[in-house]
Amino acid sequence: MKNTIHINFAIFLIIANIIYSSASASTDISTVASPLFEGTEGCFLLYDASTNAEIAQFNKAKCATQMAPDSTFKIALSLMAFDAEIIDQKTIFKWDKTPKGMEIWNSNHTPKTWMQFSVVWVSQEITQKIGLNKIKNYL
């Protein structure tokens, strides 16, 4: 199942790249992308920041719905933390012995296990170390 999702996503990216290279206006790619997103609730926008133009879209109405980024933000957060040299591959996040809601979170963590188990308290700690102003600059 997991490999199928990765293969479908790779196919989708190839199709999006083809559309991007040939499109001059936004293209609804729902008919092409629907089988690739089967069984998921999501959306996709291909946006060219250099021209401020939307290139392709799938389930645009869903993309227009405001949602919390949840665990996806930790990807950007990890890039910020590595770039700001707040963490490196050898960093150990020390658990303060306070129960954190999930058993797997109740231990020390590394950058790898932080990502693997979506350890919220590590994300909060990193966010505080980076600071709101620096995060705004990154975004």
Tokens matching residue 43: 């959306």
Torsion of CA 99, 104, 108, 110, to 10 degrees: -140
Among 22, 50, 71, 118, the active-site one is: 71
17 backbone dihedrals φ, ψ, rounded to 5°? -65, -40
Is 71 among the residues known to form the active site? Answer: yes
Nearest CA to 59 out of 67, 68, 51, 50 is that of 67
Q: Which residues contact 42 (CB under 8 A, 6 or more apart)?
A: 59, 62
Distance CA 62, CA 65 (A): 5
Annotated catalytic sites, by residue? 71
